Structure 1
Amino acid sequence: MKLLFTAFAITSTIFLTQGCASQIKSTQKSTSDSAIAQENHHAGHHNHSSTSQTHEHHGYQSASEPASAIAKLTVKGKIATNVPVPLVIDVQDKNGQAIANFDKFQEQLMHLILVSDGLQTFNHIHPTYKGNGRFEVQANFPHPGKYTFFSDYKPAGKAEQVSLLKLQVPGEAPNTPKIGFSTTNTFGNTQANLKLSQPTLKAGQEVHVIFNLQDAATKQPISDLQPYLGERGHLVIVKRTSPLTQADYIHAHALKDTPVGEVHFITSFPKPGDYKLWGQFNRNGKIVTADFWLNVQ
């Protein structure tokens, strides 16, 4: 019979149901309601202008303000590693009614950021809108363990919002690899050098994050950088913690008019700890994902 796995955003408990068998409660429990999208701001999300050198920080919304949207994740079929798994995301208002209309931002109606809880796995995918609040996409899970989805979308006429969704892939999760704080790494034919505006990062302080991109063979600045999602680059940052919450997610937009081979971002880190960065760039039609670890004091 058909296997159906449904995960509700944040406040819901994950259940696994097969046919008419009794439901088995997952050991995964939510400890926060921060994954419910907020109407005016999304916690930990820094939305920097890509139209000028100015930027804007989105603050934390008061707990007294109501949530405007909730997302529900459904996984149809068998959940397994290294096979495409179909995902369905339904976006509803606080009354359970489908939100039908969405605005594009960064050329898409929804950005779905997928990370494993140890942050060793990252994927940035774009679900297809099927109407009546429903988005569909396929995702691949390279290893067993817990995964978190940051679903980033913009209901029509509203502020950009983030919903947090969780899923567990059966099997024994791999050991979390040791963190390395190198600031130079090679990704395919691209060498990425990470530069920061200050040597010691402090929580709450603004920082310029600069990716210096060179051809791995010639060590020359790359000259074939093209727009990615309408900008010079895309940056996602997640704080290493367990369980992951919406407050651990930072999303920054690239600045314009930067030197050849460089992509600049401005952000800040809300709390001390270890953070992982994924910078994404379009090099002549091929997306390069450069990841680094940072420590914030």
Structure 2
Amino acid sequence: MDAELFNLYICYERILMKYSIVGIAALAALLVSQGCSSVTNSGDTSHDGHSSEHMHHHGHSTKDKGENSTITQAKLTTPQKILPNQSVPLVIAIQDTQGKPILKFDKFQEQLMHLIIVSDDLKIFNHLHPNYIGDGSFVIDTNFPEPNNYTIFSDYKPTGDNERVSVMNIKVTGYTPLPNELAKYSNTKNLLDTKVSLTFSQPTLKASQEVNLKFDLREATNNQPVKDLQPYLGEKAHLVIIKSSSPLTVSDYIHAHALKNSPQGQVNFITSFPQPGTYKLWMQFNRKGKIHTADFWVNVK
């Protein structure tokens, strides 16, 4: 174990031992004092610390913000240097624009926070649920499989308010090999025990037009419709959609939920794509207690 990795490990061990005792305020001070933290504020396209806020129009509330709605921001604290394939503690503090913590959150889709992590080339995807430890702060351990720039979408709901999405960025250092080829457009994805096919309610996807995205799930062995889907976060399935752009912003993010009346062996989502461009879709579902992810690229005119 080299010196850099050893120091990161020691910082992480100290955090695990102390944050549950001293609370999140002391945790932030601990991270800084031990020289193993990097703090990033959320922002639409930069690290300027301005609030990043998005009211969903794709499976989430469409109610406009009221006069008492609080503008929020997310502050991300990480080790100073993040290495690929190493466990990394993330601390996400939700605050108002004055830096005061947002203390109470409502569950939606069975969780207080959904954390979507993608590499900026959309090759890597992770859907996590951090633990709330009070004082507006959430913690989780994760790892980043390869050197890359990563964008983190933090999806949460302050109590009595609309859902929010804050965007943060992380850089994982190291050698990045050149890509072999661009991902091919394919409407079929073969997983271990499931074949997933994607079709649309219209022949061409067009920006701002509502569309039904139909995912057909069949047994890989006999091509029969899947009959044993189990609920995932209270729904038949979930769908995350992100537009390919640089840098990624909150307007590139869509989180949709399956229609409850989808036929057996099929999962349907009604949504729309806000702008023309190339999008990547990750559809997640539960079979036999295991979460499966089928990803697809689509082009929107």
Q: 1:31 to 1:9 in 2, by over 3 A?
A: closer
Question: Could you tell me which amino acid in structure 2 is paired with residue 183 of structure 1?
Answer: N
Specify the alignment match of 1:24 in structure 2.
none
Specify the alignment match of 1:238 in structure 2.
242
Specify the alignment match of 1:47 in structure 2.
59
Whether the 8 Å contact between 1:37 and 1:67 is mirrored in structure 2 is: no
Deviation at 1:282, TM superposition (A): 0.4
Instruction: Within 5 Å, give how 1:156-235 maps onto structure 2.
Output: 156-176=159-179, 177-235=181-239
Deviation at 1:67, TM superposition (A): 6.2
- How many angstroms apart in 1 are the aligned matches of 2:98 and 2:182? 44
Determine if the alignment matches structure 1 residue 269 to structure 2 residue 285: no
Whose strand fraction is larger, Structure 1's or Structure 2's?
1
TM-score by length of 1: 0.84
From 286, 290, 294, the counterpart of 1:282: 286
TM-score by length of 2: 0.82
Specify the alignment match of 2:77 in structure 1.
74
Whether the 8 Å contact between 1:35 and 1:164 is mirrored in structure 2 is: no
Determine if the alignment matches structure 1 residue 5 to structure 2 residue 17: no
- How many angstroms apart in 1 are the aligned matches of 2:136 and 2:293? 30
Determine if the alignment matches structure 1 residue 98 to structure 2 residue 98: no
Question: Could you tell me which amino acid in structure 1 is paired with residue 252 of structure 2?
Answer: D
Q: 1:31 to 1:201 in 2, by over 3 A?
A: farther
Deviation at 1:147, TM superposition (A): 0.2
Q: 1:57 to 1:220 in 2, by over 3 A?
A: farther
From 135, 139, 150, the counterpart of 1:136: 139
Q: Give deviations 1:82-131, integer Å, cap 9, x for gaps.
A: 12110000000122100110000000000000000000000000000000
CA RMSD, aligned part only? 2.2
Which blocks of at least 5 consecutive residues in structure 2 are unaligned?
A: 1-33
Q: 1:58 to 1:83 in 2, by over 3 A?
A: farther
SS at match of 1:3: coil
Question: Could you tell me which amino acid in structure 1 is paired with residue 46 of structure 2?
Answer: S
How many residue pairs are counted as aligned between the two chains?
A: 265
Whether the 8 Å contact between 1:10 and 1:166 is mirrored in structure 2 is: no
Q: Give deviations 1:46-81, integer Å, cap 9, x for gaps.
A: 125xxxxxxx7678x8xxx98611100011364110
Deviation at 1:35, TM superposition (A): 6.2
SS at match of 2:37: strand
Deviation at 1:180, TM superposition (A): 1.2
Q: Give deviations 1:160-207, integer Å, cap 9, x for gaps.
A: 110001110112334344121110110121110001101111101000
Deviation at 1:37, TM superposition (A): 2.1
Deviation at 1:34, TM superposition (A): 8.4
Question: Could you tell me which amino acid in structure 2 is paired with residue 8 of structure 1?
Answer: N
Q: Give deviations 1:5-35, integer Å, cap 9, x for gaps.
A: 2211127xxxxxxxxxxxxxxxxx7289886
Deviation at 1:259, TM superposition (A): 1.1
Q: 1:230 to 1:167 in 2, by over 3 A?
A: same
Deviation at 1:36, TM superposition (A): 1.0
Whether the 8 Å contact between 1:183 and 1:194 is mirrored in structure 2 is: yes
Q: Which runs of 4+ in 1 moved over 4 A?
A: 31-35, 56-59
Deviation at 1:249, TM superposition (A): 0.4
Whether the 8 Å contact between 1:6 and 1:73 is mirrored in structure 2 is: yes
Whose helix fraction is larger, Structure 1's or Structure 2's?
2
Q: Percent identity?
A: 52
